[in-house]
Amino acid sequence: MASDKQPLRIGLIGFGCVGQGFYDILQQHPGLGLTVASIAVKNPDKPRPLSADRFTYHADELLNDPTLDVLVEVIDDAAEAFRLVSAALRQGRRVVTANKAMLARHLPELLQLEQQHGGVLLYEAAVCGSIPIIRTLDAYFSHEPLRSVRGIFNGSSNYVLTRMSEEGSDYATALAEAQALGFAETDPSLDMGAFDPRSKAVILAAHAYGVLLNPDDVLNLGIEAVGAADIAYAAARGQKVKVVASLQRLPNGRVAALVTPQLLGPESPLFTVEHEFNGVVVEGEYAGPQFLRGRGAGGHPTGSAVLADVLALRRGLRYGYTKQAAAPAVQPAENLSLDVYLRHADAGVLREVLTWLEMPATALHTDVHGVHASGVVPLLRLLQWRDELRANGVFVARRGEVQAGVAAVAEPLQAEALA
């Protein structure tokens, strides 16, 4: 194992926003004793700030180079990232990754490979950019029972909501701004559809509670259909719309997980988390609530988390996953409910949605903010109709936390085409 004074040779896979941010930080701190010895990229024709001779176009060359002490994977292809990271762990290598989608989908397999072959996998950069939330949960709260972990885990959607709330921008304009600033991808569906924060919630669940979740079983509702009426509805109540990921220990000891827009008031620390910033509230059984806030997007903030992991590897750190031995069960969705607000410009569509969700017709309201609905919905119904809600442009936000104790609902209705 290398000491703090021994230089580390790093193989960097990917040279996009995060890869360049990490590389730039290293150039500004030569005294760290870290050298990017090899960089693998996919596209030989893409303009880059370094000369072409610094790059290889075959990532497997880095896997096959025994002189590299650490492999850092920061590409956006989850399937390729899994192939490379899993191959490196089979070699017993030390690996840092920032790929949250890959981790959320394959964490059980990666942990098994780490244990079988003696490698080490760290991934602080995969969740909340510059906020050291994984290390905080894994080390500081390693043995304390947690009541909840809640937060804004996606800087792109938070930026859009901030612009809509503060400047009165419409969704399309705010999204275009986020893309121009590099906070949102050209294809924004992972961010705006809450798939990205869902992946992060799945990763944090392994450290907060020891549970390994299937992402498909975690409700994720996004902001693709959010409009000025929704922002105004919240503002009239002294609230803001925020996309909040929640991990919550229920009274029966089980864990519930979901990611949806939520109407938050100033009593929540997340109320003041704006633009591309992320925020996390960890509530311990004994420590009480703790609030962490930091930049959740951008090359340098995320690159700083990659650097922290590389330095941690040099010190011999590995995640403990201490709570897995006594991990609680995950609460089935049929025994949970949410108090929600729903809106669609077409009242006929909204009435049909009420039928899908088994809400009474009296849940429909008309006021200065247009036609909307509100009431308690079984979480299972939202999971079953998640795709249809998104496809039909229905905006859904919860008005509180998940509640336990709802009886099982009937078999799902058949979807009908909506005009």
- The string of DSSP codes covering 366-377 is EETTEEEEEEEE
Phi, psi dihedrals of residue 367, rounded to the nearest 5°? -150, -160
Annotated active-site residue 200? The verdict is yes
255 in Cβ contact with 266 (< 8 Å): no
Structure tokens at 81: 């990232």
Cα separation, 259 vs 201, whole angstroms: 8
Cα separation, 363 vs 353, whole angstroms: 11
- What Å distances lie between residue 318 and 41, 122, 210, 400, 417, CA to CA? 27, 7, 15, 36, 51
Cα separation, 8 vs 1, whole angstroms: 11
CB atoms within 10 A of CB 118: 11
> Exposure string (b/e) for 192-213, b if CB count within 10 Å is 16 or more?
bbbbbbbbbbbbbbbbbbbbbb
DSSP state of 356: H
Q: Which residue is catalytic, options 5, 100, 200, 323? A: 200
What residues are labeled active site? 200
